[in-house]
Each structure stands twice: as C-alpha cells, then as structure tokens.
C-alpha cells in the first residue's frame, strides 16, 4: 500500500470511527529522534535509524479511544476501548491493512 493509499484508507476508517466511537489520533508521522525516544523507552521495536518504523514512512497511525468516563484510554484498559480495537482492526484488515498487534492495539499499519 502506498502512502497515498494509506492516507485515503485511514481517512475512511476514521470517518467510520467518528460516526460511532470517538477516535483520538496520534503519531501519524514520526521523526527519527521521536522514534529513537520511543525505542529507548521500550515502546517500539524500531530504533528509527537501523530499523525504520512504518510511522517514519507515513504508513502507520496510532488511534486511541475514550473510556466510559470520556478519558483517552492509552492502555486499552476499558472494555469499550478493547471492543473498539477489535471492531476497527477487523474493518482495517478488510481494507487491506495489517492485523492488530496484540501488545499494541492502537497501531494501524499499511
């Protein structure tokens, strides 16, 4: 999937999300230094220099959902956020995206 195709498809997915479940988007495009910071913190397997992240290429996005109290559920601890992750990753796969990573439910990748 090209970056243009990814942008079109992720926009379509976000439109679906916005109709039903309020999404919060994060990390559309990462710099090398931001990727390295996440790697050093143990939050990514890509160091940003030797192993390039799909985020650095503009081919991944992190999307979070609100919990029942209206707070961003970064850890996907609420049942609402978990349900949204499964629902929208299933849709994402039918659109040509990669399946959900069990340890990184927020990650949507081309």
Geometric angle at alpha carbon 60, from 59 and 61, rounded to 5°: 140
Phi, psi (5° rounding) for residue 19? -70, -30
User: What digits encode the pLDDT tens for the residues 65-109?
Assistant: 988 888 999 999 999 999 999 999 999 999 999 999 888 899 999
Decide if 65 contacts 22 (C-beta within 8 A). Answer: yes
Per-position b or e across 51-68, b if 16+ CB within 10 A of its CB: eebbbbebbbbbbbbbbe
pLDDT of residue 103: 84
Q: From CA 36, how far away is CA 33, in angstroms rounded?
A: 5
pLDDT band at 26 (very low <50, low <70, confident <90, very high): confident
**Residue 107 pairs with which residues in a beta bridge?**
62
């Amino acid at each position: 999937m090209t970056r243009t195709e990814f942008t079109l498809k992720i926009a379509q997915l976000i439109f679906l999300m916005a109709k039903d479940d309020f999404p919060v988007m994060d990390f559309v495009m990462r710099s090398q230094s931001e990727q390295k910071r996440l790697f050093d913190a143990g939050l990514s397997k890509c160091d940003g220099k030797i192993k390039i992240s799909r985020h650095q290429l503009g081919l991944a996005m992190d999307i979070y959902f609100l919990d029942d109290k209206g707070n961003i559920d970064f850890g996907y601890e609420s049942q609402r956020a978990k349900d949204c992750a499964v629902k929208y990753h299933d849709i994402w796969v039918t659109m040509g995206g990669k399946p959900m990573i069990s340890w990184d439910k927020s990650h949507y990748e081309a």
